[in-house]
Structure 1
């Protein structure tokens, strides 16, 4: 099903707390976290912190798995891109509530104030473990360990 007129946005901010990683009954990973972005305001020639905006984020599937494997924690500066939407719900007392949430399409560590090391996640299913390696198409695959060729100047 195609959807049009979604609000896509990219936000840079700091993790408010460690991401909460859970799994659905079908085994799908879900990561929930909030990021905070504080505006800088100039007053009388000096910069001060302005209002802080908190954005709820949720990531599903492989992105949630990668968040868990990355061990990112409170205070990590992230750049998050996704679809911003309103969720309506009803409390146990019958009151209607709305929550705004960014469904994560992509996430990365900001290198504005830090350095990062990128470890590529496997992009293909791992072959089943068997004693027979004769038919293993990945046996001698060094795609992820080869060093790129360096140009000669």
Structure 2
């Protein structure tokens, strides 16, 4: 959406993601990311921690279920999403909080390794991208762009064995 404040934050999960479902059945995972800046102090010749930012975050639908299944307390993550202001009332006082509406999240591989397993999708499409890999009316046969089906087409060069020149 135009005008959103999109940020990327790197930090650790403070607890396991909490998975809930709305009355209509939509999944939402809520969690907090703790991000502490570190700077090198040349005078003392050591790294110093800055003030920790605790950012409440949420992710929706299928991604919420995957986050709840895959990420745990202490996991270092990289999350990208839109900052949102939420107004609420507590003890009769109006308050606001800044939260992250997560679009993408994954484990940081700086201090860890991961084995990625693609999830099966119930509808066969990538629901996050908005792109359908098999357009309607196309059973996966032929060229989806309406071409002849020959990928090389008129670009084929005589003597080209199909191998990259490096």
Instruction: Please classify the TM superposition score into its range, dividing by the shorter chain length.
Output: 0.7 to 0.9
- Quote the residue 2:89 is aligned against: 90
Is 1:50 the counterpart of 2:50? The answer is yes
Partner SS for 1:12: strand
Number of the residue aligned with 1:148 = none
Q: Structure 1 regions of 5+ residues with no counterpart?
A: 127-150
TM-score, structure 1 as length reference? 0.75
- Give the Å deviation of 1:123: 2.7
Equivalences for residues 10-29 of structure 1 within 5 A: 10-29=8-27
Q: CA deviation at 1:80?
A: 0.4
Cα deviation for residue 56 of structure 1 reads 0.8
What are the residue-to-residue correspondences of 1:1-153 with 2, within 5 Å? 3-43=1-41, 44=43, 45-70=45-70, 72-91=71-90, 93-125=91-123
Question: Aligned pair count?
Answer: 123
| CA-based RMSD | 1.6
Which structure: larger Rg? 2
Give distance in 2, aligned partners of 1:5 and 1:125: 31
The Cα shift of 1:48 comes to 1.7
- Large movers: runs of 4+ above 6 Å: none
Q: TM-score, normalised by structure 2?
A: 0.69
More strand by share: 1
